[in-house]
A and B are shown apart, each in its own frame.
Chain A
Amino acid sequence: MKLRGKILSGFFVLTLMLLIAGVWSIYQLTSIGASVQQLLDDNYRSIEAADKMLGALEREDSAVLLLLLGRWEEGREVLVSADSEFEAALQVAEGNVTIPGEADLIEEIREAHGRYEELWARPIVDTPREGNLTWYFQDTHRAFLAAKGAVSALKQLNEESLYRTASDLKNRAGRAVVPGTVASLSALIFSILFAYFVDRLMITPIVQITRAAEEFARAQKPFALTVATHDEIEKLASAVRNLCASVGNEKGWDR
């Protein structure tokens, strides 16, 4: 193959390896980014909704205590607000069912909260239930704990799934590095190899030809160099050899 072909092929291969390394890295980064987004959509949104539901339940419980103390206005305001927040968060969780068992847990939350709501929805102030801590601890608080437990179970399910998915993502990220690393290392090794070939098969023969020609001109030393690279450099060496032989013949120099 000609010199131009050799050099171009070397650069072509190098470019291809670097291109592969670059494209693969971009693809993997994009893929991992999409996976992270999906992780947030699937799990984190549900965890956030569960946290809001837990907060709302706590405020509902506080509101019930306020009602027990006879503070109707404050209690009613907090209760309405908390209930509204709970319902909104529950609807977010209902629209984000992505894990097996999650739908059952949400149904359980709805039922448990429904039972809890039945208890505090009945009038408390100015009734025998006002100030009745026994009723609170035996009925209302238990229903509150049951609802809270169901919501906590939903949160835990999503947290475990988040952890598993994050671990998978971490492994995937680790593996995603490998092809890019392989391509980069290959490109590095190839560069070294290419540099070696250019030095040994191009530069060195040219230096040798130059040196031999100078020796011929200076000391009439025969041009005995043989280059076997099967390209223009070999032809150059052959041409210079023939030239030197011709000049030597004309001048009667020993070959």
Chain B
Amino acid sequence: MRLSAVLWYAAVTLLLNAGFLLLSGLVSVLYADRALFPLLYSALIAALFGFFILVFLPRSIDITPKEGLAIVVSSWLVSCMVGVLPYVLWGGEFTVTNAWFESVSGYTTTGSSILNEIEALPRGLLFWRSATHFIGGIGIIVFALAVLPALQVSGLILYNAESSEWSPRDFHHSARRSVEVLFKIYVSLTVLEASMLLVCGMDLFDAITTSFGTIATGGFSPRQASIAAYNSVAVEITVIVFMFLAGIHFGLLFLAVRGNVKGILTSSPVRYYGAALVVGCVVVAASVCGGNPENPFDWIRHAVFQVVSIGTSTGFATADSSSWPALARLILIFLTFLCACAGSTSGGIKVDRMVVFLKAVVRRLRELHHPKAVIPIRMSGATVEENVALASVAYIALYVCIVFLSACVLAGTGVDALSAFTGSAATMGNVGPGLGSVGSTSTFAHIPTVGKWVLSFTMLLGRLEIYGVLIFLTPGMWRR
């Protein structure tokens, strides 16, 4: 494997981050706050490293799959390291551990935060915090590919490494075109939501940063109380709609925009995703209203918002779901594991895998009745290959094991069982809030240092679909 190829793309990532740091610095200038120095200094360091590597190294072509994987993982790691700089230079609540946690949470679009006083941060730094969601949402590599000249083979390999194995790759475009489509949909949704939030009465800064958090299904809000701070039904409905859209495969959204709505309507994952959210909303609303007969409209409103927020792995909040009845909380825990569709910015196990898993279980039951029957697993009209079905089952098992292990480590540091388990599930699924002491109105500030590093690692595992990170850490990966 060529380290130079990995470094070259890491350099492009550095420059991308430097650009956004400069943009955040501009926001700092606009609001005349004190975050200008940390942002500019960080931008300078990232830019110096990026430019120097590009000057020294020749451009790499014909990237191998192994190199593609290394590029994706190293670009994420490099971005997270760059993201730490402005926080550490600012100080305040940001120790090195807290800065790393917040940076990883931003880029992996998790949305878990260590900040107890978000609104005390300067606007420039808040903008940078939300910008890490924007960058992470589309994937750093996709950004790099969107601005570089076409590298047909290398582009395909990098796209494959970045996207989930479940993202339908063939919606009638080449790999580079696919990346351009994703990018256009992503930016369009962000701009559209920001515009609608402005119409709903949000100020420009909040509208932009909130839309960054929505479309990336991240959840970083410029307000400590999250979306609850606005106390506006119009804002909540707008955010719900865009969270839902952000949970659908962007390729299907593109086809729908081009007039082919059939793709979304006939897609099994989308139908299951929609059904899961509807059932979740009904059950949670009934459970919550049952325990609070007064003001049913408010409870329904909060139930729907929380279900869609958790079910899309966004993590925005309008209420403290930690105090809800047990059934409602269990549904939210299930949605924390499940999340939305592959090919979206959502995290979690993903509906696609869960559907294959369930169909595999049904098939097994049928095979017990008819041992000699040949029963293929179908999804959206296509047959799912046996190895793909097996990979889904293995992934889900590994996913649950990692959540359990992480919860054990957290519990070992003194965190209570509910917070440890839901916190681990929430970070692994890149959802953000869990329950208990890490609930939707709480933060992760009180988690011990070891716990924060473990949760940061699970965030990366979740965002890179586990195998990417694990393979990256194996010695065989780096042999020539």
Q: How near does chain B come to A1, taking the closest CB pair, in angstroms?
A: 5
Are B58's CB and A13's CB within 8 A?
no
Residues of A with C-beta under 8 A to B55: 1, 5-6, 9
Query: CB of A81 within 8 A of chain B?
Result: no
B56 and A178 form a contact (CB under 8 A):
no
Q: How far is the CA of A147 from the CA of B4 in the complex (A)?
A: 78
With CB as the reference atom, state the residue of chain A lying closest to B85.
A182
- Identify which of A67-75, A94-102, A193-201, A240-248 touches chain B: A193-201
Q: CB distance A197 to B49 under 8 Å?
A: no
Chain B 1-41 interface mask (CB, 8 Å, partner A; 1/0): 00010000000000000000000000000000000000001
Bitwise interface map of B from 54 to 94 toward A, beta carbon under 8 Å scored 1, else 0? 01111000000000000000000000000001001101000
Question: A80 at interface (Cβ–Cβ under 8 A)?
Answer: no
Residue of B nearest to A234 (CB): B58
Majority SS of interface residues in chain A?
helix
Interface check B53, CB cutoff 8 A: yes
With beta carbons under 8 angstroms apart, the residue of B52, B57, B91 that contacts A190 is B52
Name the CB-closest residue of A to B58.
A230
Q: Is the CB of A182 within 8 A of B58?
A: no
Q: Report which of A9, A175, A200 forms a contact with B91, defined as CB distance below 8 A.
A: A175
- Chain A 101-114, CB-CB to B under 8 Å as 1, else 0, gives 00000000000000
Alpha-carbon separation in the docked complex, A178 to B52 (Å): 24
Residue A219, interface by CB 8 Å: no
Q: How far is the CA of A20 from the CA of B85 in the complex (A)?
A: 15
* A residues near B4, Cβ cutoff 8 Å: 200-201
Q: Does A217 contact B (CB under 8 A)?
A: no
Say what secondary structure dominates the interface of chain B.
helix
Within 8 A of B (CB), among A153-205: 171, 174-175, 178-179, 182-183, 186, 190, 193-194, 197, 200-201
Contacts of B48 in A (CB 8 A): 13, 16-17, 186, 190
Contact present for B88 and A178 (CB under 8 Å): yes
Q: Knowing A228-B58, A229-B58 are in contact, say whether A13-B52 is a contact too (CB < 8 A).
A: yes
Cβ-based interface call for B45 (8 A): yes
Given B49, B56, B88, which contacts A182 in the complex, CB threshold below 8 Å?
Answer: B88
Inter-chain CA distance A228–B62, complex, in Å, is 14
Kindly name the residue among B4, B48, B49, B57 whose own CB sees the greatest number of chain A CB atoms within 10 A.
B48
| Distance of A211 from chain B, by nearest CB (Å) | 18
Could you say which residues of chain A place their CB within 8 Å of the CB of B49? 186, 190, 193
Residue A222 lies at the interface, judged by CB distance under 8 Å to chain B: no
Tell me, in angstroms, the Cα distance from A229 to B55 when the chains sit together.
11
A10: chain B residues within 8 A (beta carbon): 52, 56
Look across to chain B and name the residue whose beta carbon is closest to the beta carbon of A190.
B49
CB distance from B49 to the nearest CB of A (A): 7
A230 to B89, CA, bound (A): 38
Give min CB distance, B230 to chain A, whole Å: 33
| CB <8 Å contact, A9 and B52 | yes
CA distance A178 to B4 in the complex (A): 30
Across the interface, name the chain A residue whose C-beta is closest to B46: A186
Closest chain B CB from A63 CB (angstroms): 54
How far apart are A124's CB and chain B's nearest CB, in angstroms?
61
Contact B52 A179 (CB under 8 A): no
A179→B57 contact, CB < 8 A: no
Annotate A1-18 by CB proximity to B: 1 below 8 A, 0 otherwise. Answer: 100011001100100110
Complex-state Cα separation, A190 to B47, whole angstroms: 12
CB neighbours of B89 from chain A (8 A): 178-179, 182
User: Are A197 and B56 touching (Cβ within 8 A)?
Assistant: yes
Q: Cβ of A230: which chain B residues have Cβ within 8 Å of it?
A: 58
Closest residue to A16 on the B side, CB-wise?
Answer: B48
CB distance from B31 to the nearest CB of A (A): 21
In angstroms, Cα B52 to Cα A183, docked, is 16
Q: A179-B41, A182-B45 are in contact. Are A201 and B56 (CB under 8 A)?
A: yes
Min CB distance B91 to A, Å, is: 4
**Measured between alpha carbons, how far is A72 from B439 in the docked complex, in Å?**
78
Residues of B close to A171: CB separation below 8 A:
91
In whole angstroms, how far apart are the Cα atoms of A6 and B55 in the complex? 7
Which of B45, B55, B57, B58 has the most chain A CB atoms closer than 10 A to its own CB? B45
Expressed in whole angstroms, the minimum distance between the Cβ of B17 and any Cβ of chain A is 14
User: In the complex, what residues of B have CB within 8 A of residue A20's CB?
Assistant: 41, 44
Chain A 196-236 interface 0/1 with B at a Cβ cutoff of 8 Å (1 = within): 01001100000000000000000000000000111000000
- The residue of chain A having its C-beta at the shortest distance from the C-beta of B92 within the complex is A175
* Complex Cα gap A179–B56 (Å): 27
The smallest C-beta distance from A153 to any residue of chain B, in angstroms, reads: 33
For A176, give the chain B residue with the smallest CB separation: B91
Contacts of B85 in A (CB 8 A): 182
Contact (Cβ within 8 A) B45 A186: yes
Residues of A within 8 A of B91 (CB): 171, 174-175, 178
Q: How far is the CA of A165 from the CA of B309 in the complex (A)?
A: 44
CA–CA, A208 to B48, complex, Å?
A: 30
- Give chain B residues whose Cβ lies under 8 Å from the Cβ of A183: 45
CA of A51 to CA of B89, assembled, Å: 41
- What's the nearest-Cβ distance from chain A to residue B63, in Å? 15
A201, B57: Cβ atoms closer than 8 Å: yes
Name the interface residues of B78-118: CB closer than 8 Å to any CB of A. 85, 88-89, 91
For the complex, give the distance between the alpha carbons of A193 and B53 in Å: 9
Q: What CA separation (Å) do A197 and B4 show in the bound complex?
A: 9
B286: min CB distance to chain A, Å: 51
CB distance from B427 to the nearest CB of A (A): 26
Q: Which 7 A-B pairs have the closest CB atoms?
A: A175-B91, A197-B56, A13-B48, A186-B45, A13-B52, A230-B58, A6-B56
Give A residues with C-beta under 8 Å from B.
1, 5-6, 9-10, 13, 16-17, 20, 171, 174-175, 178-179, 182-183, 186, 190, 193-194, 197, 200-201, 228-230
Beyond the given A182-B45, A186-B45, A201-B4, could you list 9 further A-B residue pairs with CB under 8 A, ordered by the A residue number?
Answer: A6-B55, A6-B56, A16-B48, A174-B91, A178-B91, A179-B41, A190-B49, A193-B52, A228-B58
Q: Which B positions have Cβ atoms within 8 angstroms of A?
A: 4, 41, 44-45, 48-49, 52-53, 55-58, 85, 88-89, 91
21 cross-chain CB contacts under 8 A: A9-B55, A9-B56, A10-B52, A20-B44, A178-B91, A179-B89, A182-B41, A182-B45, A182-B85, A183-B45, A186-B45, A186-B48, A190-B48, A190-B49, A193-B49, A193-B52, A197-B57, A200-B4, A201-B4, A201-B56, A201-B57
